[in-house]
């Protein structure tokens, strides 16, 4: 027994072990409920199945959560990402709907550039409020969270703009190498951010600013510039997520697009093991967190859990995830069950009670 425990220790000690285990348990529970859950087939030239749906639908959340990870690593928070999704989607769809030829690539590219530009300006606005003026991040970004919905509705004039543009649709529903284009874009963004932060000193600088902004400044880091930058990056990620959300249904809904995605993104970051206090961050953890959240949503539909209880179900799972991840909770659990193997069996038991 002891040797097994010792052998498992490096694995269970890994930062991403517990979130990954939760994801596996969730998929297992689904497979037990419906054996075809993981089935993937080829339909009209690309892969089709529930796992593919989860990947495609989690793409916007992964993007938003990536930006959020950097913001949170500096000790901040960005509540405006949901509204930014709505604004960027609305501007892009409006431009396409008013264009003479909605299917021409140049129209779509102009629309994307226009919306992306506006999002960068709004991200810079957040950055200035936080880094230059020194307003608390939660307040500074709350301004755009509330006002941004209004801006999005102003752009769409309160209507749902329906568009008919194949190139734009591809952002949300297209396929490349039989995989959804959306998830490839999200993963490319994740790799890009990872390369910038982990292959250069940038990540370390972000972490040091989050750990102690003043000490970093005294050590020669331009803290403000870094803080400003992460809000712009977060806005850029939100803009692309907004394109995906609107392209998925070929329509821009100023009211519903990206609604509450900021909360899901914060949750994804936390599940991924990044502390809300700032400092160390984990990009792979965030991606995993986003996948967990989307899998949870899909589970509700796949298991046909009644809408009245689905919120409670989600809450219970999220609480379970956060608990198994907390070292203090695990330590307490282990002490109580001294002599019993503290392997992965414990959280699994806990999780399996949930669907019932």
Partner 1 sequence: MRTRSTARTVIAVLTGVLLAGGMVACGNSDTGGDSGSGGSDKLVLGFSQVGAESGWRTANTTSIKEAAGQAGIELKFDDAQQKQENQIKAIRNFIQQKVDVIAFSPVVESGWDTVLKEAKDAKIPVILTDRAVDSADKSLYKTFLGSDFVKEGRLAGEWLVEQKKAATGPVNIVELQGTTGSAPANDRKKGFGEAIAANPNLKIVASQSGDFTRAGGKQVMEQFLKANPKIDVLFAHNDDMGLGALEAITAAGKVPGKDITIITVDAVKDGMQALADGKFNFIAECSPLLGPQLMDLAKKVKAGEEVPPRIETEETTFTQETAKEALPNRKY
Q: Does 57 participate in binding partner 1 (rule CB under 8 A)?
A: yes
What x-and-dash track marks residues 266-285 binding partner 1 by CB under 8 A?
--------------------
Helix (H, G, I), strand (E, B) or coil at 353: coil
Helix, strand, or coil here: 224?
Answer: helix
Tokens of 111: 């629309």
Stretch in the footprint of partner 1 (CB under 8 A) among 14-22, 152-160, 265-273, 330-338: 152-160
Instruction: Compose the 292-331 pattern: x for residues touching partner 1 by CB under 8 A, - for all others.
Output: -----xx-xxx-x-xxx-x---------------------
Question: 243: closest CA among 124, 96, 79?
Answer: 96
164 binds partner 1 (CB under 8 A): no
The alpha carbons of the chain give a radius of gyration, in whole angstroms, of 21
**Cα–Cα dist 354/356, whole Å:** 5
Q: Which is nearer to partner 1, 197 or 299 (CB)?
A: 299
Shortest Cβ 146–partner 1 spacing (Å): 6
Q: How many chain residues interact with partner 1 (CB under 8 A)?
A: 49
Distance CA 62, CA 59 (A): 5
Binding mask 173-212 for partner 1 (x = CB under 8 A): x---------------------------------------
CA-wise closest residue to 92 among 206, 254, 331: 254
C-beta of residue 268 within 8 angstroms of C-beta of residue 237: no
**Residue window 74-103: x/- pattern of binding to partner 1, with contact defined by CB under 8 A:** ------------------------------
Q: With b meaning 16 or more CB within 10 Å and e meaning fewer, what string describes 16-39?
A: bbbbbbbbebbbebbeeeeeebee
* Non-local CB neighbours of 33 within 8 Å, separated by 6+ positions: 302, 303, 355
| Site for partner 1 contains 345 (CB under 8 A) | no
Among 16, 27, 160, 322, binds partner 1 (CB under 8 A): 160
Burial class (CB in 10 A: 0-12, 13-18, 19+), 318: middle
Question: Looking only at residues 245 through 264 of this chain, which bind partner 1 when binding is defined by CB under 8 A?
Answer: 245, 248-251, 253-257
- Catalog residues that contact partner 1 under the rule CB under 8 A: 34, 36, 43-44, 48-50, 53, 57, 125, 128-129, 132-133, 143-144, 146-151, 153-154, 158-160, 162, 173, 245, 248-251, 253-257, 297-298, 300-302, 304, 306-308, 310
């Amino acid at each position: 027994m002891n040797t097994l425990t010792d052998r498992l220790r490096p694995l269970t000690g890994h930062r991403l072990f517990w979130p990954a285990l939760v994801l596996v348990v969730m998929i297992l529970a689904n497979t037990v409920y419906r054996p075809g859950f993981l089935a993937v087939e080829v339909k009209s030239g690309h892969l089709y199945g529930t796992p593919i749906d989860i990947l495609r639908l989690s793409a916007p959340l992964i993007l938003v959560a990536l930006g959020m990870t950097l913001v949170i690593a500096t000790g901040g928070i960005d509540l405006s990402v949901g509204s930014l999704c709505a604004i960027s989607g609305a501007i892009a769809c409006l431009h396409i709907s008013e264009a003479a030829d909605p299917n021409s690539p140049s129209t779509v590219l102009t629309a994307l550039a226009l919306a992306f530009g506006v999002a960068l300006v709004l991200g810079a606005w957040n950055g200035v409020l936080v880094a230059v003026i020194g307003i608390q991040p939660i307040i500074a970004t709350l301004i755009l969270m509330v006002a941004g919905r209004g801006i999005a509705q102003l752009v769409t004039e309160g209507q749902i703009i329906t568009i008919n543009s194949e190139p734009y649709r591809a952002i949300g529903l297209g396929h490349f190498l039989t995989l959804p284009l959306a998830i490839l874009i999200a993963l490319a963004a994740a790799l890009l951010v990872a390369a910038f932060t982990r292959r250069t000193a940038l990540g370390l600088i972000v972490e040091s600013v989050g750990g102690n902004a003043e000490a970093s400044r005294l050590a020669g880091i331009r803290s403000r510039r870094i803080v400003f930058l992460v809000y712009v990056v977060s806005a850029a990620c939100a803009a692309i997520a907004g394109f995906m959300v609107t392209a998925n249904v070929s329509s821009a809904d100023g009211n519903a697009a990206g609604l509450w995605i900021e909360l899901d993104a914060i949750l994804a970051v936390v599940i991924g093991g990044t502390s809300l206090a700032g400092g160390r961050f984990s990009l792979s953890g965030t991606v995993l967190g986003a996948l967990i959240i989307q899998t949870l949503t899909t589970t509700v539909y796949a298991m046909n859990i009644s809408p009245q209880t689905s919120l409670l179900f989600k809450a219970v799972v999220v609480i379970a995830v956060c608990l198994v991840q907390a070292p203090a909770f695990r330590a307490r659990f282990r002490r109580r069950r001294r002599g019993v193997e503290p392997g992965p069996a414990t959280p699994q038991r806990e999780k399996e009670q949930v669907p019932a």
